[in-house]
Amino acid sequence: MSDFRRWTKTRFQEIASHEFLSFSHWRRRILFWTGAVVVGLSAVFFAKAADYAFALFGRVASHGWWVPLLITPTIFALLCWLTQGALKATRGSGIPQAMAALKIEDEAFRARLLSLKVSIGKMALTLAALLGGASVGREGPTVHVGAGLLYSMGRRFGFDDPTAAGRFILAGSAAGLAAAFNTPLAGVVFAIEEMSGTFEHRMSGTLLTAVIVAGVVSLGVVGNYAYFGDITAALPLGNAWIAVALTGVTGGLAGGIFARLIIPSTFGFRGAMERLRARQPIVFAAACGVALVLLSLLSANGLYGTGYVQARDILQGHGDTGPLFGVLKFLGNIASSWAGIPGGIFSPALAVGAGLGNNIAQLIPGADSSAVVLLGMAAYLAGVTQAPLTAAVISLELTSNRQMALPIMAACLLARAVSGIFCRVPVYKALANNLIEGYEAERKAALPEESAEKPASP
């Protein structure tokens, strides 16, 4: 009988200690789910606010061609000034900040990049950039905000262990992308391919749940929709597959050059631009704003904002952006990136790809124009990010199109290979490495001071 009691007690302890019944694990799950809801609601608010901000700019800019010449450089200069100090982490896309914070398990470094103040500032300043007509997107910033919100919530409720905090950052990033584009599968692939490079088995269920919850919140508020509408384009086997080769090479070439141009460097033309910005950063940002306005005057529909409307119109076959839209949007995106203001590159990259794809479609009369445009969007995004899986899944989910799966994956893989010739390190990884190098330099510089403060050994 005693043996039976011992056996029963042992089995009971094993069941009670099981992860499914663990209080701490359930506490973490509930916090993840709550955080995912917050991220989803924040993404929806951010999207609505971004549309309103850019629409307001459009109404003001319609009063004359000279109006953006006053507004855009001023906003660029103001944002550059505002991000000189504590809000420096709000600059750029935000994805490199999340990647760097995931890699460096230092609480002070992570808090500097992902604090609640940075998350709120990122959202507010990106909206200000769109209010000034900047050629930036909100999807990268939404990833930054999602990572910051879940990280801050985790710390607030006691999950400040470096490994646990990293899980919150990863889940917040994936949930942010899923909610921003309404693409849950892309959120998971993005977390694997871009953010972590690996996929911890124990994290899989939590990550998927966070993505699903954020996606459900987005669906509940704005409905079940495809970002660019339902596109029924198809590309049959045959001569039309020439489009895969043309879009893959063109997207990879243009994407690799773009990535190379926005990564800080001390050499060549990029190094010269960096030195100019270092001398007079605010004046340089204003000059970038002027360049964007002047480029926009050459475009039929302007280059301001995310480029979502132009990309959608081109994709649906009733756009009137002009033959140079892709090239001009490419240059406008560079001007906005060089200014160092908050804002992402996802949506603007899709717009560039749509413009380039439309140009390629004119060279292949027998191919479906919408199919070639979709290939161009996917290939250019893959060329910029060098993340072919993420680019392919995003492109498929954005258009609810499954017929183009093989051509899109082929174009993305080709674009990734071509892009790597011009830019050896993927753009987000290179920008994250710059943040990490800055942290390492600060840490090394602080070591002599710490040593000097210690009393000498007797």
For residue 394, tell me if it sits in a domain: yes
> Is residue 25 left, alpha or beta, with left meaning phi > 0 and alpha meaning psi from -120 to 50?
alpha
Q: Which residues contact 335 (CB under 8 A, 6 or more apart)?
A: 135, 288, 289, 291, 292, 295
- In the prediction, which pLDDT does 317 show? 81
- Taking the C-alpha atoms of residue 375 and residue 395, their distance in angstroms, rounded to an integer, is 9
Residues 213 and 248 grouped into a single domain: no
Range of the domain at 389: 239-437
- Taking the C-alpha atoms of residue 43 and residue 58, their distance in angstroms, rounded to an integer, is 22
Residues 169 and 247 grouped into a single domain: no
Residues 211 and 254 grouped into a single domain: no
- Angstrom CA distances, 74 to 77, 272, 283, 327, 379, stand at 5, 23, 10, 25, 34
Q: What is the pLDDT of residues 200-223, one digit of tens each?
A: 444 545 555 666 566 666 666 666
Question: Is 209 buried (19+), middle (13-18) or exposed (0-12) by CB count in 10 A?
Answer: middle
For residue 185, tell me if it sits in a domain: yes
- Phi and psi at residue 137, to the nearest 5°: -115, 170
Residues 112 and 193 grouped into a single domain: yes
What average pLDDT does range 259-281 have in this prediction?
89
Element (H, E) at 233: none
CB distance 435 to 263 below 8 Å: no
For residue 202, tell me if it sits in a domain: yes
Q: Which residues contact 12 (CB under 8 A, 6 or more apart)?
A: none
Residues 347 and 255 grouped into a single domain: yes
Residues 339 and 414 grouped into a single domain: yes
Based on the structure, what is the number of domains in the chain?
2
What average pLDDT does range 143-158 have in this prediction?
90
Q: Which of 157-161, 172-176, 443-447 has the highest mean pLDDT?
A: 172-176
- Taking the C-alpha atoms of residue 175 and residue 245, their distance in angstroms, rounded to an integer, is 33
3-state secondary structure of 344: strand
Q: Which residues contact 212 (CB under 8 A, 6 or more apart)?
A: 36, 184
> Comparing C-alpha atoms, which of 429, 426, 395, 428 is closest to residue 410?
395
Checking if the pLDDT of 7 tops 60, the result is no
Beta bridge partners of 92: 342
Residues 208 and 314 grouped into a single domain: no
* Range of weakest confidence among 125-134, 207-216, 304-313, 340-349: 207-216
- In the prediction, which pLDDT does 402 show? 72
Written as six digits, the tokens of 406 are 């093989």
Checking if the pLDDT of 352 tops 90, the result is yes
Residues 56 and 125 grouped into a single domain: yes
3-state secondary structure of 373: helix
- CA 383 to mean position of chain CA atoms: 14
3-state secondary structure of 224: coil
Say which CATH number the domain at 324 has. 1.10.3080.10
Higher pLDDT, residue 11 or 194: 194
Written as six digits, the tokens of 245 are 């080769």
- CA 72 to mean position of chain CA atoms: 23
- Phi and psi at residue 92, to the nearest 5°: 70, -155
CB distance 315 to 373 below 8 Å: yes
Residues 177 and 290 grouped into a single domain: no
Between vectors from CA 251 to CA 187 and to CA 68, what angle results, nearest 5°? 85
For residue 217, tell me if it sits in a domain: yes
Checking if the pLDDT of 59 tops 60, the result is yes
- Taking the C-alpha atoms of residue 265 and residue 124, their distance in angstroms, rounded to an integer, is 29
> Comparing C-alpha atoms, which of 306, 298, 296 is closest to residue 135?
306
For residue 5, tell me if it sits in a domain: no
**Residue at a domain's end among 166, 191, 222:** 222
Checking if the pLDDT of 252 tops 90, the result is yes
Checking if the pLDDT of 409 tops 80, the result is yes
Residues 217 and 250 grouped into a single domain: no
> Comparing C-alpha atoms, which of 103, 392, 416 is closest to residue 251?
416
What average pLDDT does range 259-264 have in this prediction?
94
DSSP conformational letter for 301:
S
For residue 368, tell me if it sits in a domain: yes
For residue 384, tell me if it sits in a domain: yes
The total number of residues written for the chain in this structure: 458
- In the prediction, which pLDDT does 199 show? 45
- Taking the C-alpha atoms of residue 364 and residue 242, their distance in angstroms, rounded to an integer, is 8
Residue-wise burial string across 296-312, b where 16 or more C-beta atoms lie within 10 A, e elsewhere: beebebbbbbbbbebbb
Residues 63 and 135 grouped into a single domain: yes
CB distance 414 to 249 below 8 Å: yes
Residues 119 and 209 grouped into a single domain: yes
Report the chain's mean pLDDT, rounded to a whole number.
84
> Comparing C-alpha atoms, which of 263, 258, 245, 299 is closest to residue 381?
258
For residue 87, tell me if it sits in a domain: yes
Higher pLDDT, residue 9 or 277: 277
- In the prediction, which pLDDT does 285 show? 96
What average pLDDT does range 236-248 have in this prediction?
81
